[in-house]
Structure formats: C-alpha cells, structure tokens
Structure 1
Amino acid sequence: MEVQEGAELCFPQLLNTSCRRPTSSGSEAVFLKILLSSLSLLTVALNLLVIISVSHFRQLHTPTNLLLLSLAVSDFLVGLLLMPGAVVLQTFCWFLGDEICLLCNYISFIITSSSVGDMVLISVDRYVAICDPLHYTTRITVRRVKLYVCLCWFFSALFSIVFTKDELTQPGKYNSCQGECVFVIDYISGLVDLVLTFIVPVTFIIILYMRVFVVAVSQARAMRSHVAAVTLQVSLTLTSKKSELKAARTLGILVVVFLICFCPYYITVLAGNNLLNTSSAFFVLHLLQFNSCLNPVIYTLFYPWFRKASKFIVTLQILQPGSCDANIL
C-alpha cells in the first residue's frame, strides 16, 4: 500500500511533503494536451513570421510596424514559454525548483504588461494618424517608437517586481507541498494590477478609438463627396486617407480581439474570485493566451504585405542577396 501511494507522489522519497502527481488520463485529456501543444507551436510559428518580416524587409520599417513587432515578440514568448508552461503545470509535477517557478511567473507578468502597453501605443499611433495626420510624420517617428517600445518593456519588467516581491524573499512561499508551482497575489498587488494593467489602459484605449471612429466616419464622408475630383494632388490625398483608414480599421479589430480575450480574466479578478480555485481558471487563462495566436491571423487576413513577406520566408527567398530591399508593399 505504501509503495502504491509512493508511486503516485512527485517525490516518493518525501512521503510527508510531496505533492501527488496530477491525474489527467482519458481521451479528453489527451485531446486537450494535443490541442494546447498545437496552439503553442502555431503561435510560435506565426509570430516568428511577423518578427522576421518586419525585421528583414526595409519597406516594413515603419512606426506602426515596429509596434506590431513588439507585440509579436510578446506573443512569441507566450507561445514559447507560457503555453507549454500551462500544459506542464496541468499534467506533470514541477521538478524545476522554486527559483525557476518564480522566474516563470515574473516573465509571465512582463509579457502581459508589455502586451497591454503595446496596445496602448498602437491606439496612440492610430489616434495621431487619423486625428492629426499633418503632424504624424513629425510626432511619430521610427526613432521615437523604438524609444517608447524600450520604455514599455523596461517599465513592464520594473512593474512586475511588485507582484513577485514576496516570492523574491521566500521562493515557494505559497506551495503547499513539494512538486508544486503556485503563485498567489495579495490583495493590494492584485488591486494595483487591476487598475494599472486593465482599468486605466482599457479606458484610455476605448476613449482614443471612439475619437478615431468619429473622425474616420467624417473623413470617409468627405472622401465620398470628393470622388469626382480629378487633380493628382486630391487623388494622392484620398489614397493616403484610404490607407490610413484601412490601417485604423485593421488595428481596431486587433484591439477589439485583445479586449475580448483579456476582459474575462480581469472581470473574474474584479468579481473577487480566486482564479486558482475556480472552474473558470482554465478557460479565462487560456483565452488570454489564445490572443497571441489570433494576432498574426488578423495580420494574414488584412495585411497583404504579411502574406507576401511570409511567402518570401517560407520559400527561403529571403536568403537571396538584396532580399531585404524587395518590394513587399
């Protein structure tokens, strides 16, 4: 009897302190593992295409695309680290130690915070492009966007220390047994997280995009009223406006999908439920991570340059000399 019980433990030699092995058998569990593993691989592959595309082709080195690059890096890390980590925690014992558990949780906070920051920057970019187009090229430059992206990641790393301060002094503080990786946020830290990474950014994003929507509608009406214009200058202006409006629509879809995936998690937190102890934990956490797979799918559907760049990458044409100067747009 003792042998059988020991076989079910993560550390059989520690009978009194070891956790039991997660029980996840049956066809449904196997299907779930395959599904989550496939989503992880798909997320990594699609976001890697975005990263290579924007990094390699010079035509894509625009302020807006640099913001998409930063978001793709966050999504890539979600697929590479967070999704497999979730599968491991649900199906295996944690053998990597408390320090690695702390590091994984710290990285997950950085990735989430940087994703929210990228969405705010994307909203600001579209706001300036649509509402103040005459000053867009002077206010939103590649150099400034690089600076803002670096600051976004820096403050995300700094901000995430708030949630890991207790674990830093005592790794594994909330583990009930050996072989477990549990992370608990205290009330104050949870409130700070809720306000700074959900309420304030989401409110800011919604306000900006409401303004963008109003201006975009008025510009679309103005464009329709000038369709009969025949001068080259007017034609070029209308083409430019159509391009900006199309970009605003695409990035608006990106933001809406982001809100749909992130809101259930924070609404559950706002309702006062402990995600670690509720049946909704699996759904809301994986929905939040699934957003990282949806973003490059949106690029594929609405950005011709991404489809063309992906073809260059998959067919290895980017290995040819001078491929970085290829006409992608």
Structure 2
Amino acid sequence: METLEEPELCFPHLLNASCRKYARPHTEAMLIYVLLSCISLLTASLNLLVIVSISHFRQLHTSTNLLLLSLAVSDFIVGLIVMPFQIYLKEPCWHLGDLVCVLFYVLSFTTVCASTVNMVLISVDRFVAICDPLRYSTKVTQWRVKLCVVLCWIYSVLYSFLFLYNDLKKPGSSNSCYGECVININGALDLILGFIIPISSIIILYMRVFVVAVSQARSMRSHVAAVKVQRSLTVTVQRSELKAARTLGVVIVVFLMCYCPPYCVCLSGYDITLGTSTNDFLVFLLLSNSCLNPLIYAFLYPWFRKSVKFIVTLQILQPKSKEAVVL
C-alpha cells in the first residue's frame, strides 16, 4: 500500500505551524545566486571607490560631490548588506529569526529612502547652480550641504521606523507561519511619501533645469565670438555647470528608470506574490541602480577614472596624495 509523501517543512518539530519548503529548479537557483552575488560584489566595490575618492582628494571636496558621497554610502550599504540578504531571502526558509528579518527591512527602507532624498538634493543643487549661478556659492555652502545630508539620513531612519513600527514592536506578527520573513506596511502612505512627492520634485526641478540649460547653451553659442576676455571665466564656469547638470541628469534618469516600475506596477493594481519571478525582477531592478551609479561616473567623470587609477596603483598611499590633481 502506497503512503502519501509528507511535505517537507522548514521546522519539522513545529508540525503545522511551520512553513513549507519550496525549491527552485537547480539551474535557475544557481543562475540567480551567481548573478546576484556578482552584482553585490561589484556594487560594493565600485561605490567604495567613489567613497574613497571623494573623501581622500581635496579637489573633490565640493558641495555637489558631498551629495554624491552620501549617495555612494547608501549604494555601498545596498551592495554590502541588502543584496546579500536578498540572496538569502531566495532560500526556501528564513532561519535568522523575526527580529533580524525586521531589521533587514529597516535597513533596506533606510537606504532606498536615503537614495531618493539624495536624488532630490542633487536636483535642488543643480537647480540653484543653473537657475541662480551668481548666488550659488553663497546659497549652497559645504556646511549647509552637510546639514542637509545629516537630515536626509535622519529622515530616512525615521521613515523606516514609521512604516515598520508594528513589526518592530511585535516581530513576526505579519508571518503566517514559522520560517517566513514578511512585513506589513502602509502602502498608501509609502506611495505618497516614498514615490509621488520625491519623484514629482525631481521631475519638476530637472525640467526647469533643462529649460534654463538649453536657453543658456543657445545664448553662449550665439555670443561666444563676442565674449570679452574679462568675461571668459564666467562663460567657462557656465559651461562647467551645464556639463555637470547633463551628467547628473543621466544619473537621475537612470534612477527613475529603476525606481518607478515597482511603484507603477503597484499603482496598476497588479497583485505581486512574494517569491515570483515578477517580484524578483522588480526588486533586482530597484537595487541595480546602486550598481549603475558608479558605472555612470566611470564613463562621464574623468576625475573618477583618475582617482581609481591612483587607488588601484596604490599612489594614494604616498605622502601628500590628498593634494593630487584629479580634475
């Protein structure tokens, strides 16, 4: 007489209270683990290069680069901690406990929120630089930028604790069985504070920057032959600011391409189940932005390529390397 095979449980001693194990096909599982592991390592390594470059070389201690440094820190945490935990979440069962589960999501929400707020600050920085260049140096000081960065991270931490308050108060309360890592958040509030307000701000600010930048570019082209010697420095500064705006515009466009799809899917009313290929793709797309940012710097910022050369060849260890010319 044949006996029915019992489903394999995450915690067999808990019987019906335990979650059931689900197993991916071996080839699919290996592909996901290898791909995410490589991206995680690449993300952490590239952003660490950005952090070391901006922190070490005095020429790079500008207001705009301080915002890029803050963005690189959040991206580095994503590559170092968030992505590896996402790999572990692909396992059939969660064995690290309910508190670790909630803390992981707190860190994930904090870094994603910090990246979003940093993008808003970068948009504000470019808006002032292009639309009010004469007062940029007095309005956007390093002290004010540092204060904004600190407030950005404080807001991101508070944002995470606000949305995960119930889960932090009672870890595991959202789980349907033991061996699960699930949280419960206020989707409507997250949509407004985490998507609509910051994304709208970024788009509005950069649309204004784009209009003014095009106007300035046309003005410079039409008057370049008549520019006097004493005004040549002003024109050079304008061109530099326009180039920086274009470069950071690419960063913001890539950010929007990675950040918007998950929220757009939610707005469409499509029900996403955890563990499905759709959910995995949207999470991968959101986190991949942390890897793309330093790649954009590598292609568009000569100072980043020079800084990496200094770091890789260990010239950074030489005396007075902080004063090296990388711009």
Instruction: Report if TM-score (shorter chain) is over 0.5.
Output: yes
Q: Which moved more, 1:243-252 or 1:22-31?
A: 22-31
1:104-130 deviation line (CA, Å, top 9, x unaligned): 111111111111100000000000000
- In 2, distance between residues paired with 1:47 and 1:279? 28
**Does 2:229 correspond to 1:253?**
no
1:326 is matched with 324
Question: 1:325 Cα deviation (Å)?
Answer: 1.0
Conserved in 2, the CA contact under 8 Å of 1:22 and 1:90? no
2:238 is aligned, of 238, 241, 255, to 241
Contact 1:229 1:235 in 2 (8 A): no
Aligned to 2:307: 309
More off after superposition, 73-82 vs 42-51: 73-82
Aligned positions of 1:147-296 closer than 5 A: 147-185=147-185, 189-229=186-226, 231-277=228-274, 279-296=277-294
Q: State the alpha-carbon separation in 1 of the partners of residues 139 and 226 from structure 2.
A: 30
Within 1, Cα distance between the matches of 2:311 and 2:91?
35
User: Displacement, 1:275?
Assistant: 3.4
SS in 2 for 1:275: coil
Farther-moved stretch of structure 1 (19-28 vs 72-81): 19-28
SS at match of 2:220: helix
Q: Does 1:67 align with 2:67?
A: yes
Q: How far did 1:169 drift? A: 2.1
Deviations 1:24-72 (A, max 9, x none): 2322321221011100000000000001111111110100000000111
- Give the aligned residue type for 1:25: P
Aligned to 1:51: 51
2: distance between equivalents of 1:287 and 1:225?
42
Describe the SS at the equivalent of 2:130.
helix
Residue number in structure 2 paired with 1:103:
103
| Secondary structure, aligned partner of 1:13 | helix
Are the aligned partners of 2:43 and 2:290 in contact in 1 as well (CA < 8 Å)? yes
Structure 1 unaligned segments of length 5 or more: list them: none
Name the amino acid aligned to 2:297: Y
The alignment of Structure 1 onto Structure 2 pairs a total of residues equal to: 325
Aligned pair in 2 of structure 1 residues 275, 81: CA closer, same or farther (>3 Å)?
A: farther
Structure 2 counterpart of 1:19: 19
Q: Could you tell me how far apart the structure 2 residues matched to 1:165 and 1:32 are? A: 32
RMSD between aligned residues: 1.8
- Runs of 4+ that moved beyond 4 A: none
C-alpha displacement of 1:16: 2.4
Question: In structure 1, what is the Cα distance between the partners aligned to 2:230 and 2:273?
Answer: 60
The residue type paired with residue 173 of structure 2 is: K
Give how far 1:274 is off: 4.2
Structure 1, 278-287 or 145-154: larger mean CA deviation: 278-287
- Code of the residue aligned with 1:132 in structure 2: it is D
User: TM-score scaled by structure 1?
Assistant: 0.94
**Cα distance change of structure 1 residues 183 and 103 upon mapping to structure 2, 3 Å threshold:** same
The gaps in structure 2 that reach 5 residues or longer are: none
Aligned residue type for 1:310: V
AA paired with 1:253?
Answer: V
Task: Indicate how the Cα distance of structure 1 residues 26 and 82 shifts in structure 2: closer, same or farther if over 3 A, else same.
Answer: same
Cα distance in 1 between the residues matched to 2:14 and 2:187:
34
The separation in 2 between residues aligned to 1:271 and 1:161, in whole angstroms, is: 27
Q: TM-score, normalised by structure 2?
A: 0.95
SS of the residue aligned with 1:21? coil
1:45 counterpart letter in structure 2: S
